[in-house]
Structure 1
């Protein structure tokens, strides 16, 4: 695999966005459609996760959001990886013509905004502050972090290791984070006790997995009434202890 790292003339920026590719198979009248996720973007090319391995040199048309398709060709591929998309293959695509810097800036901004889009979930989470294990329930999730309902939140600034499993993902995720804020310490009956955790140094694969999971939830799931579900989750948690 040749990455052309030393030959790049355009900087790359991390951006995790859904993408659709039209594979222009030579000699075939019908063009295949392949969906995936971006890993990074630059003026001269893009790195993608796709559900199948494309041949080196094959031309493709890449569509990001509502922008016009961009023509390019595959210049490298890597080994298949396990992700939320079951398995995915990293690809490097060089654009036939460099794109304007304003387009790159727009794509990167979309990725950053997407990182703060949250989806309501109910996931068991194990968190490990200062070498001790504790449990809670994740109430909402984004690429940037999560809110964990727990009767014993860690103080703001505490670094924690979060372990949680997403439906349809074979292996649980282990993510480093920092407690940004806590709630429910005023002892009001309606307050939800818990903590907001910001992810730290989330790797591209985990970012893509979480982003895809959040995207699949948001169109179909309305915001739940938190209180009854929280009481149920807490009750079942105490019962297991």
Structure 2
């Protein structure tokens, strides 16, 4: 294995992507498949959230977003983080050989696209901006932000401090966000006023909780679409 390469030698980027890890089983010739999700990617390796803890130096083959297999090994493992999908453990995985930076750009691009997949959901949100406080309702959520329906949206470009609880979770989220856009039309009271906000550097544990919830809701929406009966064209 290559030992003179570290994660610090290459810039890393946040990207949440599906990853398959084939790790050996002690005493057996076959490998077992562990499905996880990347949290950070670089040319040197990955930070992967897995449903179990693997020993240090465990060799494996990883496939990011159904790409080509890459040989790697575990260099560190963190404590588990509870999520709506169960406990997830962060692992540092180092490639045996650095990958092409162009491949890393592809991963980041895919991660950015997935970060803006929105799911409909409703829960109360409190926010503060420039010494004033307000409240509203989140009506859709993504890994990168949310839309807050409120009668008094903050102006675009401003920073707001958000406080909220996700459904069925006791943890209270407190994070900064930037107002990307706002909508308020006093001439049309029937339209929903509010603001689209982008999360600013959420805590890793809170990001994992949001990510797991969005994943679960996306899966439920896909199953609902797959199980819906086909429409019959009218004549």
TMscore range, shorter length = 0.7 to 0.9
Counterpart in the other structure of 2:24? 24
Counterpart in the other structure of 1:206? 206
Counterpart in the other structure of 1:95? 95
Q: Aligned-pair distance for 1:119?
A: 1.5
Deviations 1:172-226 (A, max 9, x none): 221211223221323314311111112222234333332332222224338xxxx
Aligned residues: 219
Structure 1 residues 184 and 208: CA distance shift in structure 2, 3 A: same
CA-atom RMSD, angstroms?
A: 2.5
Counterpart in the other structure of 2:118? 118
Structure 1 residues 172 and 31: CA distance shift in structure 2, 3 A: farther
* In structure 2, distance between residues paired with 1:184 and 1:117: 24
Q: Aligned-pair distance for 1:91?
A: 0.9
Q: Aligned-pair distance for 1:157?
A: 3.3
Q: Aligned-pair distance for 1:73?
A: 1.1
1:155 maps onto 2:155 in alignment: yes
Report if the CA contact (8 A) 1:15-1:107 is conserved.
yes
Q: Aligned-pair distance for 1:92?
A: 0.9
Report if the CA contact (8 A) 2:82-2:209 is conserved.
no
Q: Aligned-pair distance for 1:143?
A: 2.1
* In structure 1, distance between residues paired with 2:61 and 2:103: 16
* In structure 2, distance between residues paired with 1:187 and 1:219: 38
* In structure 1, distance between residues paired with 2:7 and 2:120: 43
Counterpart in the other structure of 2:230? none
SS in 1 for 2:9: coil
* In structure 1, distance between residues paired with 2:61 and 2:172: 34
Counterpart in the other structure of 1:10? 10
Structure 1 residues 6 and 56: CA distance shift in structure 2, 3 A: closer
Structure 1 residues 8 and 129: CA distance shift in structure 2, 3 A: closer
SS in 1 for 2:25: coil
TM-score in terms of structure 2 length: 0.81
Report if the CA contact (8 A) 2:5-2:44 is conserved.
no
Structure 2 gap ranges (5+): 223-235
SS in 2 for 1:78: strand
Counterpart in the other structure of 1:43? 43
Q: Larger deviation: 69-78 or 130-139?
A: 130-139
Deviations 1:127-180 (A, max 9, x none): 122344432111111122211111222233332111222235441221211223
Report if the CA contact (8 A) 1:37-1:208 is conserved.
no
* In structure 2, distance between residues paired with 1:219 and 1:155: 34
Structure 1 gap ranges (5+): 223-241
* In structure 2, distance between residues paired with 1:153 and 1:128: 11
Taking the TM superposition and a 5 Å limit, the aligned residue runs for 1:69-80 are 69-80=69-80
Structure 1 residues 170 and 31: CA distance shift in structure 2, 3 A: farther
Counterpart in the other structure of 1:58? 58
